[in-house]
Structure 1
């Protein structure tokens, strides 16, 4: 049998008794409006049945919107009183544990719905994280879509173990890291790449590694490249001299000289806007 209020609890005025007095106080009770609500209760436990105290228990409505939250007591118990009838979802959270899938439940009028919640220990609870913000060197503004690479150093060995991009606030994060020594490199077109100092993490460290990128002064420059081959057989010509000329008003001036590599490739970089010409004489010493 469920106990419900048929009338509202109505207090009387204060009554003072001085000696042998017979006081009378009559008053009326107002009928309690019908309550279309029930309770939700339960216990948060380990898989072996041990209670988990002070876990956050979250209740969602049928549309998945947050409705209310509470904490389990030292015995792992929780209660949501006077919840309107209807359909709900419930789950729990606690540092060191994985958040369970939401459990669906129905609240009935003047009834208590009991929901047991079982939580699994997070196997990565003692893992580490490295995070930070990438900013410009000129105005300290966050840099979006910068490439951040994470490297782990073990003795004389360096291993790349992750690569991410910064968000629109310049933030990045590497989680679930083993104990060890790490560093990050950051790059983005238009900026000079940068490498962090080493960071050592162990036993659930969360290490902040913020980075600064300076603008590349040659970011608005161009390149000219190509491959030199023998016209007779199509073979690449190594060590061919390649001359770069700037052309102004029909006049050519030599501004750089390079040589092809073993694959016949040459490359001129950091070229400002202008008109250029490339020539490739093959000179040999007799």
Structure 2
């Protein structure tokens, strides 16, 4: 039977005995203010019964309101003393372990409630993470919705591991990474993409890797493209000459010349605001 103290421990005044004195000490005990409470105690352990020391044990009310937290001791034991009578939920957390589903516990008046919390090892518990912020390299402001791609160095090459998008604060995170050397690339519309230097991580390491990307000086420009085909059979014409003219006050001036590819496609980029005309022809050396 568990020992419960419904009354507070009350001391007597000092008593002096000198020879054949007859002394008395009467008590008027005051009830413990927490007599409508009980204790929750137990152990945090692995499936094989091995205790897990220094785990965080979290107690919730039945309405999911956090009530208290404590740590298991060196032997995995824990206790929540003087918990008001009622129903509660309890679970535990510890690095490299999975947080188990909460266990229902009922606290009775002047009783000890025993709980065993069993935790499974996290199969990814010893893996690594790479995290950071993508910033505008001009003013250091974080960039939201930037694309971050992660690569793992393999020999003299690399392999793509994953792609994420930055949040409102420009942050990204790659978790559950095996030991190795990694680098990231960051890109965003209107900016020039950039690549970080490789970072080596191992042994449950969480490594920061911030990266800056510069504003594309040609971001506010346009493109003109099209296809050149033979009117007799609509087949694409390769190596057709295409000239780009700027038009100002009725005057045309060639500013660029390109050729079509095998699909008959031509493309002019980085075109500033203005008025243009494109002309195409085929010229063969005789």
TM-score, length-normalised on structure 1? 0.91
CA displacement 1:38-58 (0-9 Å, x = unmatched):
211111111111111111111
Q: Which residue of 2 aligns with 1:85?
A: 85
Q: 1:33, CA displacement in angstroms?
A: 5.2
Q: Which residue of 2 aligns with 1:257?
A: 257
Q: 1:141, CA displacement in angstroms?
A: 1.3
Match status 1:15 vs 2:17: no
Q: Which residue of 2 aligns with 1:190?
A: 190
Distance, in Å, in 2 between the alignment partners of 1:97 and 1:34 is: 35
Distance, in Å, in 2 between the alignment partners of 1:64 and 1:32 is: 28
Q: 1:7, CA displacement in angstroms?
A: 4.1
Q: Across the two proteins, how many residue pairs are aligned to each other?
A: 285
How is 1:20-99 mapped onto 2 (pairs within 5 angstroms)?
28-32=28-32, 35-99=35-99
Q: 1:190, CA displacement in angstroms?
A: 1.0
CA displacement 1:201-241 (0-9 Å, x = unmatched):
22223222210111111111111111111222111111111
Match status 1:131 vs 2:131: yes
Q: Which residue of 2 aligns with 1:218?
A: 218
Match status 1:247 vs 2:247: yes
Question: For the Cα contact (< 8 Å) 2:244–2:276, is it kept in 1?
Answer: yes
Alignment gaps of 5+ in structure 2? none
CA displacement 1:39-93 (0-9 Å, x = unmatched):
1111111111111111111111222232111111111111111112222211111
Q: Which moved more, 1:212-221 or 1:105-114?
A: 105-114
Q: Which moved more, 1:30-39 or 1:114-123?
A: 30-39
Q: Which residue of 2 aligns with 1:157?
A: 157
Q: 1:111, CA displacement in angstroms?
A: 2.0
Distance, in Å, in 1 between the alignment partners of 2:253 and 2:284 is: 23
Does the C-alpha gap of structure 1 residues 183 and 4 become closer, same or farther in structure 2, counting only changes over 3 Å?
closer
TM-score, length-normalised on structure 2? 0.91
Secondary structure of 1:278's aligned partner: strand
Q: Which residue of 1 aligns with 2:166?
A: 166
Does the C-alpha gap of structure 1 residues 154 and 31 become closer, same or farther in structure 2, counting only changes over 3 Å?
closer
CA displacement 1:106-127 (0-9 Å, x = unmatched):
2222222211111112222322
Distance, in Å, in 1 between the alignment partners of 2:101 and 2:30 is: 44
Q: Which residue of 2 aligns with 1:176?
A: 176
Does the C-alpha gap of structure 1 residues 175 and 103 become closer, same or farther in structure 2, counting only changes over 3 Å?
same
CA RMSD of aligned residues (A): 2.2
